[in-house]
Amino acid sequence: GDQVEQSPSALSLHEGTGSALRCNFTTTMRAVQWFRKNSRGSLINLFYLASGTKENGRLKSAFDSKERYSTLHIRDAQLEDSGTYFCAAPTSGGNYKPTFGKGTSLVVHP
Amino acid sequence: NSKVIQTPRYLVKGQGQKAKMRCIPEKGHPVVFWYQQNKNNEFKFLINFQNQEVLQQIDMTEKRFSAECPSNSPCSLEIQSSEAGDSALYLCASSPHWGGAETLYFGSGTRLTVL
């Protein structure tokens, strides 16, 4: 089965509001990385976490390896936040092949 | 954000034709990954390199693709005989270290359409 389960698959927000995206892992991951795919199709790095939380502007991410999940919080959403968000985590053992979630498609409305 | 360069941006091939795409990793990044992303946004790992050496690849890549990362030249991924199911976005990423503790930096991808 999928090692990375991402939710929700789609999300609609009004400008100024916020929400959280989540990735659950079926096994213990060493780290997590979050990306946003913009309108031009480029994957933009948002966060890399091996533990704890990180914050960057209106975005905040948390990673709990033991509990096997990571979250990405968006506050005060803006139109330019629209896009598809992905989490990725390296598989365990010596095979470093990051596994991706299926993405959350976020649309921010005026 | 990323300085990984992928060419061409779009590629259209007929079934049975070769399809070749290239990737220039970020300067100083010895590790390169190739992923295939389908229309459902699902990522499939294809192959990775450390410097010029293949570290891991899936069966499909080994059987149907030719890939290399020569020194002082772009990395390349070539499908030897394209099939309709190969239509997808091919993403290249580089990383400064091997070991699962570093960030991936992606290029913009090559969108392959096999007619």
Domains contained in chain B, number: 1
Q: Domain residue spans in chain A?
A: 4-103
What CA–CA distance (Å, rounded) separates B46 from B35?
A: 5
Interchain contact, B109 vs A33, CB within 8 Å? no
Tell me, rounded to whole angstroms, the distance of Cα A36 from its chain centroid. 8
Q: How many angstroms away from the CA of B46 is the closest CA of chain A?
A: 9
Mean pLDDT of A24-49: 90
Mean pLDDT of A74-85: 96
Q: Residue B72 maps to which CATH number?
A: 2.60.40.10
**pLDDT bucket at A30, cuts 50 / 70 / 90:** confident
- CATH topology assigned to domain A4-103: Immunoglobulin-like (2.60.40)
Tens-digit pLDDT profile for residues B51-75: 889 988 988 888 999 999 998 899 9
Q: How many angstroms away from the CA of B44 is the closest CA of chain A?
A: 8
Range of the domain at B11: 5-97+106-114
pLDDT value at B2 more than 80: no
What contacts B46, CB < 8 A, 6 or more positions away? B34, B35, B36, B57, B58, B60, B61, B65, B67, B77, B90
Residue listed under structure tokens 């960030």: B103
Find the residue in B nearest to A39 (Cα). Answer: B108
How confident is the model at residue B101, as a pLDDT?
58
Find the residue in B nearest to A5 (Cα). Answer: B42
How confident is the model at residue B46, as a pLDDT?
95
- Across chain B, mean pLDDT equals 92
What strands, in cross-sheet order, belong to the sheet with B75-79?
A: B5-7, B19-24, B75-79, B65-68
